[in-house]
Amino acid sequence: MEASELLERARSRATDPEDPLEVLSAAIALCGEPGGEADALLDLAVRRAREAGASWTAIGERLGYVRRPARRRFTPAFAHRHLVNRRMKREVACSFCRRPPGPRVHMVHGEGGRICDKCVALAGDIVAGLARRR
């Protein structure tokens, strides 16, 4: 059975077929029944609820999730994009203090990483202090 057909079946079982959250609740109940394409049905029901203006919080409450997992579960591109952005920021930041590059932050790039001007100055002070001790 197609996901759209299952969604129509869920809509017919909903107490208020015009309320997308009620349709989502009915779709969740349908997914509990054996022999359904649960993931496709839930994806479609969530997409329709979002198009109708339902918040991720309301959708998550219907699904039994707490806070943001509903958004992460139903938008895999969001999770992937978030991880890619985080990885890119980490890769261009100073390898020692994680300071991000900027117009006033100068970086020295090497094969294994990057070091900002403040860390270079600190390293210079440390080496100079060690040289004075000898």
Q: Are residues 57 and 107 part of one domain?
A: no
Q: Are residues 64 and 96 part of one domain?
A: no
Q: Which two tokens stand for residue 102?
A: 């900027």
Residue 6 has pLDDT above 80, yes or no: no
Cα three-residue angle 37-43-44, rounded to 5 degrees: 90
Q: Are residues 126 and 90 part of one domain?
A: yes
Q: Are residues 68 and 86 part of one domain?
A: no
pLDDT of residue 60: 79
97 belongs to an annotated ligand binding site? yes
State the Cα–Cα distance between residues 54 and 117, nearest whole angstrom: 48
Q: Are residues 120 and 90 part of one domain?
A: yes
Which H or E run includes 79?
helix 76-92
Q: Are residues 92 and 59 part of one domain?
A: no
Where is pLDDT greater, at 10 or 97? Answer: 97
- Domain count across the chain: 2
Average pLDDT over residues 92-107: 85
116 belongs to an annotated ligand binding site? yes
Residue 132 has pLDDT above 70, yes or no: yes
State the Cα–Cα distance between residues 20 and 53, nearest whole angstrom: 9
pLDDT in tens, 50-97: 888 888 778 778 877 665 566 566 665 555 555 556 556 656 788 888
31 belongs to an annotated ligand binding site? no
Range of 92's domain?
Answer: 80-132
Q: Are residues 61 and 43 part of one domain?
A: yes
Least confident of 18-22, 80-84, 90-94, 115-119: 80-84
Average pLDDT over residues 2-21: 81
Average pLDDT, the chain: 77
pLDDT of residue 47: 81
State the Cα–Cα distance between residues 119 and 45, nearest whole angstrom: 52
Residue 108 has pLDDT above 80, yes or no: yes
94 belongs to an annotated ligand binding site? yes
